[in-house]
């Protein structure tokens, strides 16, 4: 009986030990703790864990690297997280790596993400403290999204009011008027044509300037020919001299006119006698009448001589000669 009781005690102890081992194994597996591989510790300090708990995963560049071993509150603004990292990834983690709290998926458990930095630095050692990076929590994102939605709603309402005002304004009537569009296109076409014409005129002026610089054309000759310029200068001097002479002649004519007017007014000189003396005027008229009468009588005598048989041949010969000279002059023309 004593021996059977001892066996029962041994069996109970063995079952209890097996139960404890199974419970510890389940706990280790639940916390993603490596039971057979070696590991080392890394630490990081955060101001807010955003729901991170012991046993949550630790990722290195998105790869499972360990678990959160413990969480310790240092003060009211600092919380220290101790991570148990697999030795397999130790060779890839440098002491300038950055730890940040993230989410496993959109709404999953919290995880610690260790991100490498491109700047070279030594490999981490057991117990090293990594730099922490503040990550935006889901609550903060939702709050920001809520504010953004409110702002969008306010802007949408303002845009709605603005659009309604524009719809009833004269601007939309102008934009919807097809005739205005046609007029605008016509105006733009006219402006384009004017621009093309201005370009052609500019090119023509450029060619004229080039020809002038090369001494071509009348303008080029005027501006570049030194001989012509000298002749032009001489001509201008002569024109100036002629102008001065004309001025002198004008002065002399004015003086002469004044003298004649004075003589006519005061009865001096033969011109006054001819223009003012009525007796001389009558005598001049009588003399002119006599000359006219004498001329008429002479013409009658000459006409009578043309019919006289003594000198009629002479006059006929003279008449033929005049006709012949007239024909010769016409032929020469």
Sequence-distant (6+) residues with CB within 8 A of 218 are none
Contact 90, 124 (CB under 8 A): yes
At 102, phi and psi to the nearest 5?
A: -130, -165
What's residue 235's pLDDT?
76
Determine which of 74-83, 145-154, 217-226, 252-261 has the lowest per-residue pLDDT on average.
Answer: 217-226
Q: Which residues, listed in sequence order, are joined to residue 110 by a DSSP beta bridge?
A: 103
Distance of CA 95 to the CA centre of its chain: 54
At 44, phi and psi to the nearest 5?
A: -150, 145
Look at residue 268 and tell me whether its pLDDT is greater than 60.
no
Helix runs in the chain, H state only: 2-30, 138-167, 170-176, 178-213, 217-224, 226-266, 269-276, 278-306, 312-332
d(CA 122, CA 96): 8
Higher pLDDT, 327 or 81: 81
What's residue 97's pLDDT?
93
Q: Residue 263: how many CA atoms within 13 Å on its side-chain side?
A: 14
End-to-end CA distance of the chain: 183
pTM of the model: 0.37
Contact 40, 126 (CB under 8 A): yes
134: nearest Cα among 61, 42, 44: 44
């Amino acid at each position: 009986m004593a021996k059977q009781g001892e066996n029962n005690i041994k069996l109970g102890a063995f079952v209890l030990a097996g139960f404890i081992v199974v419970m510890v194994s389940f706990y280790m597996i639940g916390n993603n703790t490596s039971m057979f591989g070696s590991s080392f510790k890394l630490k990081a300090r955060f101001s807010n864990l955003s729901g991170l708990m012991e046993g949550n995963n630790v990722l290195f560049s998105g790869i499972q690297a360990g678990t959160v071993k413990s969480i310790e509150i240092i003060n009211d603004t600092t919380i220290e997280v101790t991570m148990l990292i697999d030795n397999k990834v130790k060779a890839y983690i440098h002491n300038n790596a950055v730890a940040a709290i993230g989410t496993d998926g959109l709404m999953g458990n919290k995880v610690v993400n260790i991100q490498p930095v491109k700047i070279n630095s030594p490999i981490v050692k057991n117990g090293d403290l990594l730099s922490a990076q503040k990550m935006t929590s889901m609550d903060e994102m939702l709050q920001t999204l809520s504010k953004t939605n409110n702002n969008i709603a306010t802007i949408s309402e303002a845009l709605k009011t603005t659009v309604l005002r524009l719809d009833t304004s004269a601007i939309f009537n102008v934009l919807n008027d097809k005739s205005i569009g046609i007029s605008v296109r016509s105006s733009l076409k006219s402006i384009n044509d004017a621009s093309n014409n201005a370009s052609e005129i500019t090119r023509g002026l450029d060619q004229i300037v080039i020809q002038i610089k090369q001494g071509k054309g009348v303008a080029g000759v005027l501006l570049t020919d030194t001989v012509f310029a000298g002749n032009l200068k001489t001509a201008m001097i002569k024109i100036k001299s002629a102008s001065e002479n004309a001025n002198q002649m004008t002065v002399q004519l004015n003086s002469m006119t004044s003298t004649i007017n004075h003589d006519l007014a005061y009865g001096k000189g033969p011109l006054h006698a001819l223009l003012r003396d009525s007796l001389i005027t009558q005598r001049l008229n009588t003399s002119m009448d006599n000359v006219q009468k004498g001329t008429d009588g002479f013409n009658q005598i000459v006409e009578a001589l043309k019919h006289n048989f003594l000198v009629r041949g002479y006059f006929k010969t003279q008449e033929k000669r005049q006709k012949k000279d007239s024909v010769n002059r016409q032929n020469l023309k």
